[in-house]
Amino acid sequence: MVNRDRLVNEFMELVRIDSETKHEREISLILRRKFGELGLDVSEDDSMAKSGHAANNLFAVLEPSGAPDAPVIFFTSHMDTVAPGRGIKPRLDEDGYIRSDGTTILGSDDKAGIAAMLEAIRVLKERKVKHGRVQFVITAGEEAGLAGARALDASKLEAEFGYALDSNGEIGAIAVAAPTQAKITIEFFGKSAHAGVNPEDGISAIQVAAKAVARMPLGRIDEETTANIGKIEGGGATNIVCDYARLEAEARSIAREKLDRQIAAMRDAVSSAAQEYNARGEFKSEIVYPAYSHDDGDPVVELAKAAIASIGCKPRTFRSGGGSDANIFNGLGVPTVNLAIGYEHIHTTNEQIRAADLAKTAELVVALIEQAASRRR
């Protein structure tokens, strides 16, 4: 069975290693050693040259034992964290939660997933559990727009399907769908003038931007679609009519046709506002990652449900509003769902995870491998 003390100690060891996104080198070397010491074949791709991060993606393969005909499955977590993630001091409190000292994040997003993988491998070996070939993929740069996964060498993927251990929520929750995201940059070019002497000769780029934003459908568009303006900048002195403004925005939807309509609506708002004020607007959008959607009866979902039930939890499916590395793996043709592993208040200094949920996640990884071994290709 899972050794909770060993698991908690290893989790705390991992979160003490500084690994804010773009600073993953140390954690990468340590993880390579840890997987190697457990007898796995460890390799990496050359993604850092493309991603701009400090480490490549890691690939660790557990060879089959007693079930060579089982489908090859994979698990993925990311090695980087958000800031503030330097000098993390984890502690296990009396209520069973693991927390930082409150000055940093904890890093359970996503080192809880990595710790659960390592513990699961130990349990498989100690219990001599029959299993098929299993691949573990640890990515860099997830917190920077899935940078590592987007640069991943797809030729190194062997699995037929797999599981991301990277969602908050109660263990048993399965994200069977997640949206595609478009990153949007909008620029407005007006005309400067003295704001007190001859403002009528100027064209305020800020005013045009405000008019355009007011015309955009934003927030919750429908159950599958959202949009947001995240940043606006421009201007300087108050006595000068601002001639330039720049906005950064996003749009998301599980349905691509809905995303296309949302982008078009935002573009039309920019165009109409610029035309009304005789200004110039430029609108650029880029798809950052694809959407994915699985039905309850799909093998990747059915196996997850069976594994969750086998460890005494209640499986439930949901459609996520956020993206993860699971989006990328699905886009590469490997069916993947994202599993909740119990962490709470991520990306804040109040982040926490129960030691019991950490142990349950390791149990779930073992159960998923066992369920896969019971099936034949």
Say whether 158 is catalytic.
no
How many separate domains does the chain show?
A: 2
Residue 66 Rama label (left phi>0; alpha psi -120 to 50; beta): left
pLDDT (tens, 9 = 90+) of the chain, 377 residues, equals 899 999 999 999 999 999 999 999 999 999 999 999 999 999 999 999 999 999 999 999 999 999 999 999 999 999 999 999 999 999 999 999 999 999 999 999 999 999 999 999 999 999 999 999 999 999 999 999 999 999 999 999 999 999 999 999 999 999 999 999 999 999 999 999 999 999 999 999 999 999 999 999 999 999 999 999 999 999 999 999 999 999 999 999 999 999 999 999 999 999 999 999 999 999 999 999 999 999 999 999 999 999 999 999 999 999 999 999 999 999 999 999 999 999 999 999 999 999 999 999 999 999 999 999 998 76
Same domain, 249 and 162: no
Say whether 142 is catalytic.
yes
Same domain, 48 and 138: yes
Q: State pTM to two decimals.
A: 0.93
Cα separation of 371 and 309, whole Å? Answer: 11
Q: Tell me, what amino acid is at 334?
A: V
CATH number at residue 271: 3.30.70.360
Among 289, 324, 350, the domain boundary falls at: 289
In tens, the pLDDT along 199-239 reads: 999 999 999 999 999 999 999 999 999 999 999 999 999 99
Same domain, 100 and 11: yes
Among 289, 324, 358, the domain boundary falls at: 289
In tens, the pLDDT along 96-111 reads: 999 999 999 999 999 9
Same domain, 11 and 63: yes
Cβ neighbours of 153 (radius 10 Å): 15
From residue 60, give the alpha-carbon distance in Å to each of 117, 159, 242, 351: 11, 12, 54, 28
Burial class (CB in 10 A: 0-12, 13-18, 19+), 48: buried
Same domain, 35 and 113: yes
pLDDT of residue 376: 76
Same domain, 93 and 130: yes
Burial class (CB in 10 A: 0-12, 13-18, 19+), 131: buried
Tokens describing residue 288 = 């950052």
Same domain, 14 and 107: yes
CATH number at residue 340: 3.40.630.10
Catalytic residue (choose from 10, 44, 109, 142): 142
Among 289, 307, 328, the domain boundary falls at: 289
Catalytic residue (choose from 10, 44, 45, 80): 80
Same domain, 148 and 244: no
Task: Of 184, 249, 262, 257, give the one whose Cα is nearest residue 221.
Answer: 262
Same domain, 166 and 38: yes
Chain centre distance of CA 331: 14
Same domain, 172 and 113: yes
Same domain, 268 and 310: no
pLDDT of residue 375: 86
Domain extent, residue 71, equals: 4-178+292-373
Q: Above pLDDT 70, what percent of the chain?
A: 100
Same domain, 193 and 170: no
Burial class (CB in 10 A: 0-12, 13-18, 19+), 93: exposed
